[in-house]
Structure 1
Amino acid sequence: MCGNPRNKENFDKTAIFVGVKLKLGKDDKKVEVTLGRILLRQPGIIGRDTCIVEVTSEHEEWKGKELVVKISWPAASRKSEAEFVIRAREKARSMPQGKRPDWALDHLPDVLLSQDFDYGTDSTQVNLVAFFATAIFAKEEKFEYEKRVCRVTVQERLYPLEELRTVQEYAQVFFDILQIHKWLYDHPGILHRDISPGNIMWRRTVDGHLRGVLNDFDLSAYRHDTGPSLRQRTGTLPYMAFELLIDDENGHPPKHLYRHDVESIFYVILLLCCRYMVVAKQDLDGRPILERTRVHSPFNSWYKLDRDDLKYKKCFFITKIDSFSPMANSGFTDFQSWINRIRQQFLLGFHAKNGHILRKDLGVMESFEDETLQTWVSYSAIVKTCSEFAGSALIVHNDQVKEGA
């Protein structure tokens, strides 16, 4: 099936699941899928690293669809990705206003099935829970082992950023992500909270149109949730908003806000354009392709620093006028105006916030809209910056915007 594992030259780690069949669903509605090659395996603790595998199925409702299975081990207490996606898709189908009320469906993943598998009574997981419940720790501290489940999710296959064919397509995908992120915030009330390159994907519609898709809602939360989830630090370090790296006096990160995700989208664009260069070429069929090469960049350190050091680096970059000016590399230079303007908007927003804090210390009582830094990084402000690329207007889908962020 995947060669002789003893022969390293023949052993293909992406093929270890090829041909394996899984039966999912309830007893009266079992669905069989056949696993193919591993498309993505995220680094993590062995036995907990998320794995994306291509699959096929003869299930009548899924015939003709390109599918993947996502195998993950989330905390049992966390709301499932499927819940957020299903809630969002139901909301998109019921929207009453707009030029095309259900436009958001094109920019959301399509989860077809999600099933959790618990552990047996004598499993390592259960034994660890029992061990930590009775263990004695230094200084009488308590440690509660976080119970996890094995979650298997079947969804439509999406495509990564590196498979886009032109820089213009990159721009449209990023603009789409800004739009669907705002729609999720406004209507189903969902904050994504884990924006990174791997979660910004794309599909083509049946009529061939490119659509950016915001994927992976594993760490999402409802923005009106009053529980602790919105104050749990989530995200991928190089792309996290710098404030989320700062703990308060009780050791907790701040509440996750709309603009924190916008800052993450900015970092995705920034780091792509400043750490890579692209050259436009053609494939064997004459279609355009982009050859992407990583180059030296002052931002490379963001992937090596620990949380505290990264916090200071990002704080200086995003709040100080005299910090260095980032330059987009060859092939991405049309993004330079986006990078400059969005960074300036954050600079002005944080200066407005610092001024508000100083006046408050002097006894001046006034309101401050922190969700968007007094509208400097509001949705409308960001869209004004990003609705045009290289002299051409990008496609606006979201005409269902609510006031505020």
Structure 2
Amino acid sequence: MAMVCQLNQLSSDKLGLIPNPHLNDFNRDPQQLVHDFKHNPESLVGAAYRFECSDGYTRIFVIKRVLYRAEGIIDQASVVVEVECVCTESDCQWHRDWQVIKISFPSRSRPPEDALIREARSKAESTGDLWALNHLPQIIDSITITYDESTVQGRLKADLKEKYEERVMRVTILEKLHPLSELEDPRDFAQVFYDILQIHQWLYECVGILHRDLSSGNIMFRRKDGKIYGVLNDFDLSSRVQNMDKGPTSNHRTGTRPFMSIDLLDPKWKGGHLYRHDIESLFYIMLCLACRYRRPNVPTPEPRAYAVWFSGTDQQVCDNKIAFLTTPFAEAIPIQPHFASFKRWLNRIQDKLYSGYKRRPRNSLAKSSQPGDEDFSDDEDPNFDWVTLNQRASYTTMRSIMSSFDGKSLETRWASWNRNH
């Protein structure tokens, strides 16, 4: 109780929370501060922030709309807001468009999101893979704010040392993208998903970056010259492949629970985060779209399909997904009529995942600990390929399924892939 009382007396900058009215050059007008943000995110609308940008301008942003707030520790969950620049600089180019600001609290040792995105964009430009730029976010500016020893984080770090994972506040200004919910035509959805598969593979194989958090909220799109391009967004939890066994990425299982792979939900899994776990997440994203919505933005009536994935514990979600993969396929997927064209994709990918999990070696630390485990371990192959579940969850397999939709080819952006594989 004494600790709670002491915490209650600290200012928000000492606590390291958001909203944050007095923190360096990123200041919110205290007169506009509303303290019920956790229960009413819209309370941020109309708030003004001042930001010292890297081009030398001091800009003032007014929040117009709260786009997203992640679940998490009170006032330490990521927040994404749409803003308008209202600075007084007459030659400021930012007046013309609204931007998006994301405030997040990643581990201090994790690679900054803006650094990873800039690294990927630079790679695309230097190698001539310019197609990839259409599928990556555009960072306008970014600032990282650390907490000194006078803050709660600083004190916890001093007391707990390496046992405490220190975090920073990261403020990122990005180009505005469009959410999946703005699409209508199932073929447009399919092209976006196929785009995401391609850019995910390019990032992994050509840049050495693994995204690690595919979710419906992290798949966006942009319109350019009359076309729609899927954009892989939100690199807060991404890692460089060569450093996957180091730092926080080696200890933490990342992802958004409804879309996380069976392995990453299993406490006995010791194999780390593999690229096929993100492929499995992409499958769950498409599955939930096709089965939980009558049409875009029109949910199916309760009880909705796969509801436990959104409300259950890791154990419950893992058990349920194992049961789902072992259910006879003919009646397993309740696809809504509007998304009926996804049936071929979903049935084939489900079949591949079931087959791959079923053939995992029995004697391994990576063996599932869930009920029904006997359905997933009937092969003692010592050369089993864990990375792709013996090619059943590989990029090549997914491309063979997703390159066409409803009998017609989709656009392959990474045209040189076929020549190199």
Displacement of 1:73 in angstroms is 1.4
SS state at 1:211 partner:
strand
Q: Report the Cα distance in structure 1 between the residues aligned to 2:143 and 2:339, rounded to whole angstroms.
A: 41
Partner of 1:271: 288
With over 3 angstroms needed to count, the CA separation of the structure-2 counterparts of 1:63 and 1:122, relative to structure 1, is same
Q: Report the Cα distance in structure 2 between the residues aligned to 1:168 and 1:315, rounded to whole angstroms.
A: 29
Q: Report the Cα distance in structure 1 between the residues aligned to 2:271 and 2:315, rounded to whole angstroms.
A: 15
* Aligned pairs (5 A) from 1:2-41: 13-14=41-42, 16-18=44-46, 20-25=48-53, 29-37=56-64, 38-41=66-69
Amino-acid identity (%): 35
* Aligned pairs (5 A) from 1:312-391: 312-318=319-325, 325-354=332-361, 366-391=382-407
Relative to structure 2, which stretch is displaced further, 391-400 or 209-218? Answer: 391-400
Q: CA offsets, 1:318-368, max 9 Å, x none? A: 35657961120121111111110111111222233348979xx99977522
Q: Which amino acid aligns with 2:393?
A: V
Q: Which amino acid aligns with 2:229?
A: R
Partner of 1:90: 122
Q: Report the Cα distance in structure 1 between the residues aligned to 2:333 and 2:116, rounded to whole angstroms.
A: 36
With over 3 angstroms needed to count, the CA separation of the structure-2 counterparts of 1:322 and 1:200, relative to structure 1, is closer
Q: Which amino acid aligns with 1:159?
A: H
Q: Report the Cα distance in structure 2 between the residues aligned to 1:373 and 1:363, rounded to whole angstroms.
A: 12
Q: Report the Cα distance in structure 1 between the residues aligned to 2:326 and 2:43, rounded to whole angstroms.
A: 47
Q: Does 1:76 align with 2:108?
A: yes
Which of the numbers 295, 302, 315 marks the counterpart of 1:308? 315
Give the conservation status (yes or no) of the 8 Å contact 1:321–1:347.
no
Which of the numbers 68, 76, 82 marks the counterpart of 1:48? 76
Q: Report the Cα distance in structure 1 between the residues aligned to 2:166 and 2:32, rounded to whole angstroms.
A: 36
Q: Does 1:292 align with 2:298?
A: yes
Q: How many residues align?
A: 371
Q: Report the Cα distance in structure 1 between the residues aligned to 2:218 and 2:359, rounded to whole angstroms.
A: 31
Displacement of 1:304 in angstroms is 1.6
SS state at 2:207 partner:
coil
Give the conservation status (yes or no) of the 8 Å contact 1:277–1:294.
yes
Displacement of 1:43 in angstroms is 2.4
Displacement of 1:219 in angstroms is 0.5
Q: Report the Cα distance in structure 2 between the residues aligned to 1:23 and 1:64, rounded to whole angstroms.
A: 18
SS state at 2:234 partner:
coil
Give the conservation status (yes or no) of the 8 Å contact 2:353–2:393.
yes
Which of the numbers 224, 234, 238 marks the counterpart of 2:254? 234
Which of the numbers 131, 134, 139 marks the counterpart of 1:111? 139
Give the conservation status (yes or no) of the 8 Å contact 2:362–2:379.
no
RMSD: 3.3
* Aligned pairs (5 A) from 1:119-138: 119-132=147-160
Displacement of 1:12 in angstroms is 7.9
Which of the numbers 172, 183, 201 marks the counterpart of 2:220? 201
Partner of 2:189: 170
Displacement of 1:106 in angstroms is 0.3
Partner of 2:265: 245
Structure 1 unmatched runs, 5+? 134-142, 279-289
Structure 2 unmatched runs, 5+? 1-28, 368-376
SS state at 2:170 partner:
strand
Q: CA offsets, 1:244-300, max 9 Å, x none? A: 11233xxx743111110000000000111111111xxxxxxxxxxx55223333411
Q: Report the Cα distance in structure 1 between the residues aligned to 2:171 and 2:41, rounded to whole angstroms.
A: 20
Q: Which amino acid aligns with 1:119?
A: Y
